[in-house]
Amino acid sequence: MCLFYLAKEIQLAKKNPGDILTSDWNPVVGCLRYSAGCRDCWWLDGIMPWQVRLGNLPSTVTEGMPTEIEARFDPAKLRTKKGIVGVVQHGDIFWDKVTDATIARVLDIVDQVAREREEKNARRPAGRLPDTTKYVLWTKRAERMADFMERRYPQGVPSYLACGVSVENQMLADDRLPHLLRVRGYRFVMIEPMLGPIDLSAYADVHWIVLGSETGTDRVRPLEPEWARQVRDFALAHHLPFFLKQVGSSHKNSVRMLDDRTWDEFPPGFVK
């Protein structure tokens, strides 16, 4: 990826109030449409072909096949990213076409950079704020994520990592979220795009709820405000941080107000 594009990407993420990430790191890219929310995938339909045209992705990148970008498998590419960093946002790291060895390689680098940061924090002079960078990954393949993280971190997922599961409607929430609850560590629910009402009452043992509408095409399936209110009220009742990305159908003119205010809550220690 060219340095100009990388700097621009980070700047846009920081300035976008509807983005929970400061930046992302994508040593693996690519995915396959998997469930209802993937129909008009923003990455497969827009970002991927655009980045191929710009030369930031190899021309061999195609839908349905993961691509490992060797130059990005470098700890130096991750060290400069701080705040809230999305890991493999341009794909799904737990897709069955991504091997266990590749997942382990990605997390080896995350663990290495996080340990280096913790060592630097320990050496910081008294009074200086520590670096609280967090690495987040979320998936639609919830069962594989839970299985993999349980094997890799038998004592629990480190506090610098947060694991999320993406759901779009009640059926998918009931299918995926029981696996999320198996993760011993920071757990969050990513409801985006929200395509129907979702009752989270069986899944209160999480640390963060993020919600957003579908945007960007002339086939957008609108979000009913009452669906968002139900989730917001659940979060308030259970003292869970709630982040509302958007409720409108346009990504260019984002609508983020729900009941006359925005909802931009992060878990303790997560600082964009």
Sheet holding 161-167, edge to edge: 23-25, 84-87, 134-139, 161-167, 186-191, 208-212, 242-246
Does residue 48 register a pLDDT over 90? yes
User: For position 14, what pLDDT does the model report?
Assistant: 56
Q: Model confidence over 249-265: pLDDT tens digits?
A: 998 888 999 999 999 99
Q: What is the pLDDT of residue 154?
A: 98
Range with lowest mean pLDDT among 5-9, 230-234, 235-239 = 5-9
The pairing of strands 28-29 and 67-68 is: antiparallel
Structure token pair of residue 236: 């308030």
Give CA–CA dist 38/44, Å, rounded: 9
Tokens of 84: 């809230």
Residue 2 confidence (pLDDT)? 38
CATH class belonging to 3-246? alpha beta
The mean per-residue pLDDT over the stretch 109-120 comes to: 98
pLDDT tens column, 49-68: 999 999 999 999 999 999 99
Q: Which residue has the higher pLDDT, 8 or 53?
A: 53
Confidence tier at 218 by pLDDT (50, 70, 90): confident
Task: Check if the beta carbon of residue 13 is closer than 8 Å to that of residue 19.
Answer: yes
pLDDT at 127 over 90: no
* Residue 11: per-residue pLDDT: 45
- Kindly tell me if the per-residue pLDDT of 8 is higher than 60: no
Model pLDDT, residue 12: 47
On the question of pLDDT at 83 being above 90, the answer is yes
Mean pLDDT across 27-42: 95
Q: Could you give the CA distance from residue 209 to residue 204 in angstroms, rounded to a whole number?
A: 10
* For residue 30, pLDDT beyond 50: yes
**pLDDT value of residue 66:** 96
Residue 136 three-state SS:
strand
pLDDT, tens digit, 9 for 90 and up, residues 135-178: 999 999 999 999 999 999 999 999 999 999 999 999 999 999 99
Residue bearing tokens 């091997």: 99
200-211: pLDDT as tens digits: 999 999 999 999
What is the chain's mean pLDDT, rounded? 93
